[in-house]
Amino acid sequence: MSGDPALSVMEKAARAAGLLLADAFEGKFIVKEKSPGDFVTNIDIESEQILSGHLSHEYPEFGFLGEESGENSTDSEWQWMVDPLDGTRNFVRGIPLYALSIGLARAGIPVLGLVYDPLRDEMFTGGNGQGARLDGEPIRPSEATRLESCIVAMDFGKTAGVYKRSYEILGQLMHRFQSVRMTGVMALGIPYVVAGRTDLYFNVKASEWDIAGGIAMARDSGVLVTDLSGVETPLPLTGLVAANPAVHAEFIQAIS
């Protein structure tokens, strides 16, 4: 509606919601348990309302899929995929690591992404051939070629089956990784690979809002994202691995 580029609209929305997330940290908020081990606060909901308000005002015809509000379907092939506060358990316990994620998908394929860490004021963006950036500066993945030299990041899920498969992969390969990191913020998993902070990221289960933003910037940076069988799909929700092609190939071969 304003004529601003989509990425500029996303950045403005993220900064508005990020201000809320930063100000509310270690403050007073209401915590509820959506399901065993899955928490939501009034801050999650308010952040999503801010993001939805900005994005829907500028693009009223686009669909919207948010973790807290669900899906608002439209006839448009365009859809926002939004996680207003990823790392809620960290947030609730006073661990200073969480983020918000915005992905823009066309016909189900993420084409533009943004992940914002409000405490560090770090904004990862990418997609649509614009190149991956951190706070406006170009970033690129590591040039690692062997698992033995890799810092690997991962996230567990919330169900027994997901935990089991995650532990199976770690049991197979832990001895080959240089080190393993688990932040509890799935939205930062792929961006950290894109920025070269970690060499590989994997999980066994995700939701669209967790990964859409990261996938858009990964595919604009030379990071390969596939499911755990090595097949490239628009949104690998039943397990994904993200890494540069050399490390990706070695990981897939090792778990196959």
- CATH architecture group of domain 6-138: 2-Layer Sandwich (3.30)
- Give ranges for CATH 3.40.190.80 in the chain: 147-255
Distance separating alpha carbons of residues 102 and 176, to the nearest angstrom: 34
Residue 37 per-residue DSSP state: T
Q: Looking at the domain 147-255, which fold is it?
A: D-Maltodextrin-Binding Protein; domain 2 (3.40.190)
Look at strands 151-155 and 200-203 and give their pairing.
Answer: parallel
Task: Taking the CA atoms of 158, 72, 12 and 10 in sequence, report the sign of the dihedral they define.
Answer: positive
DSSP structure string for 144-191:
--SGGG-EEEEE--SSHHHHHHHHHHHHHHGGGSSEEE--S-GGGHHH
Q: For every one of its 256 residues, what pLDDT tens digit does the chain have, with 9 covering 90 and above?
A: 888 999 999 999 999 999 999 999 988 899 998 877 788 999 999 999 999 999 999 999 999 999 999 999 889 999 999 999 999 999 999 999 999 999 999 999 999 999 999 999 999 999 989 899 999 999 999 999 999 999 999 998 666 667 788 889 999 999 999 999 999 999 999 999 999 999 999 999 999 999 999 999 998 899 999 999 999 999 999 999 999 999 999 999 999 9
- Give ranges for CATH 3.30.540.10 in the chain: 6-138
pTM of the model: 0.95
